[in-house]
Amino acid sequence: MHYSGTAPGGCWDVNTNATLTHNEGSNSLAIANVARCFISNMGVDSTRVFATGTSSGAMMTNVLMGAYPISLPLDPCTLVFPTDASEDPTLGTQWGDLVRSGYPGFTGVRPKIQFWHRTVDTTLYPQNFWEEIKQWTNVFEVSATPVTAILK
């Protein structure tokens, strides 16, 4: 499936309560429903359904990971943006709480994800990458401190 967002410029809705909340509506629910339809009606293997994107698509990938972690295993995304960066929290716990509020009561295993961000991006500033690290390390309950390994 290849789809465009409905916001100005073909961007995704990545910051309304509806899109940030599981089964509440907007673009994230539309994507989840299409994936569910493919899985239920067309025999698509649910373990082979992925979300990935750049720019607004990367932002939507984060939204989907927060609001639909079971429905859509996620692939690496680039040009990252934390879930609902319009809220502008600064602590990892605040960012993590935004993700958890997208699917209250979710206790399952969240899919793996990888984030990349170019420092020359003039639309999504590099600081978004650092905020995203705070967000997802809090959600996954892992340290944001890099681990160094020397391979011989």
User: C-alpha 3: how far from its chain's center?
Assistant: 16
Residue for token pair 């899985």: 39
- Of 76, 46, 51, 49, the C-alpha closest to 63 is 51
pTM for this entry: 0.75
Active site residue 55: yes
Q: Which long-range contacts (CB under 8 A, 24 or more apart) does 47-54 make?
A: 47/73, 49/73, 50/74, 50/75, 51/75, 51/77, 52/76, 52/77, 53/77, 53/78, 54/78, 54/79
Question: Is residue 148 domain-resident?
Answer: no
pLDDT of 79 reads 38
Domain presence at residue 149: no
In a domain, 66, yes or no: yes
Kindly name the residue from 26, 55, 56, 71 that is annotated as catalytic.
55
**In 3D, which of 78, 76, 73 has the Cα closest to residue 128?**
78
Would residue 2 count as lying in a domain?
no
The residue among 67, 63, 70 whose CA lies nearest residue 47 is 70
The pLDDT profile of the chain, 152 residues, written as one tens digit per residue, is: 666 677 777 788 988 999 999 999 999 999 999 889 988 999 988 888 888 887 788 888 889 988 988 765 544 444 344 555 555 667 889 989 988 999 998 988 888 788 777 777 666 777 888 888 899 999 999 998 887 777 76
- Per DSSP, what are the bridge partners of residue 77? 115
Tell me, yes or no, whether 145 lies in a domain. no
- The pLDDT score that the predictor gives to residue 119 is 74
Q: Is residue 150 part of a domain?
A: no
pLDDT of residue 77: 41
Q: What crossing angle do the helices spanning 127-140 and 92-102 adopt, rounded to 10°? A: 70
Number of domains in the chain: 1
* pLDDT at residue number 19: 92
- 58 located within any domain: yes
- Torsion sign across C-alpha atoms 73, 138, 30, 13: negative
Instruction: Tell me the residue range of the domain where 74 lies.
Output: 8-140
Q: Which helix (H) or strand (E) holds 78?
A: strand 77-78
